Chains A and B, each alone.
Chain A
Amino acid sequence: MARQRLKTLTEQMFYVLLCLEEERCGSDILQWIDRAADGRVTVGSGTLYNLLEQFLEEGLITLTKTEGRRRSYRLTQKGQELLKREYERISMQAADYVRYAGRSGE
């Protein structure tokens, strides 16, 4: 079943957007995600480029600074809303799991 574009986020999309709550450049994003997700989520450099292009086109992030080949980005209001919506969706899924599977996810 195909997923609608940016209706829901993949794990990598989620972490890239989360990371841009603060202004960061491309290489910082790669390092931050690796650290924040304890190496569980890997974002390839090609994928990061494509995601940044896609988010920029959708107005979810904004280009804040360009220094030579380095570019820095930050989340926009629209991006924050999308990230929050995704958080609520995941939280509801987790809550449903606890309610119906009868476990607290240990």
Chain B
Amino acid sequence: MAWYNEKGNNDDIVLSTRVRFARNLADYPFTGRLSASGAAEITEKVKNALPEYGAVNFSSLTATAARSYVERHYVSPLFTDKRLPRTLLSGENERVQIMLCEEDHIRIQSIVAGFDPNAAFNEACKADDAICSRLKIAFDPKLGYLTHCPTNLGNAMRVSAMVFLPALTMLGKTDGIMPGLNKLGMTIRGVYGEGSRAEGNIYQISNSSSLGISESDIIANFTNVIERVCTLEKEARKVITDRELDRLTDKVCRSLGILRSAYMLTSDELNTRISDVRLGASLGLIDPIESSKLTELFIASQPATLAMSGEGLEDDNARDKARAKLVRAALA
């Protein structure tokens, strides 16, 4: 089962946790100087090292199909450009995804529902062990895993969480936590990573240091930071409910009403309304709706993923109608 269909720990705030390792083969140029034939050779080698993984060749996908993988957080936006032949390897239950020839030759990532960095780390390690024991990996005892961009040197691990921070956003406090996170070696970004917007009040928090610190220390530090952010968000939720409960309840109920009965829904409106409903449900302002169900709906109604279901393909209007139909059915 995919991460967005599962229930997770603390998923009223932390929607998912991901661990990513960057690896490169020692004897090939990094992707900036890699030929298409070099990319094909690397792809074959990694596929042979992981015979049980399924492979999706991105060169043969339509733009919509490729975009749908971005929306599900399986690949980065960079992965969908066609500069190099790119292949995604996918493990059992979609637990581990391996991007071949993204910025680095090999990007192993494991994504789980809710907050569980250790589960994601353990899954990623299994794939890493299989690859690193069979292929000659670029590694230096002082610099660690050698990467295309020197910012990723060291353990080349990024652990990140998608966090839902509506109350901190309403109070204008998300900018205020940025410097504090930076001091702790963490960064905060929009939902689809670098340079993206915080759609639906969802942010991505990740570690920024990777050299001279072990994976377990990064995870311990990250866990402390995420717990702290969760506490801040809970405090902010208390402030807004103390301050304007009626107005907030009204907003949540209106949003739920719109989701349950709208005939057309744009992607932006859906993101806003789902955010309201997710907050309302977690505060008990409306009947319980599981956070995982809303995440599933959020992903299923993103433009490309919706189009992949075969609905609303004609034009924007058709898509907005199809999205509204999907949401009405899910929340009936």
Bind each other: no
* Chain B positions near chain A (C-beta within 8 angstroms): none
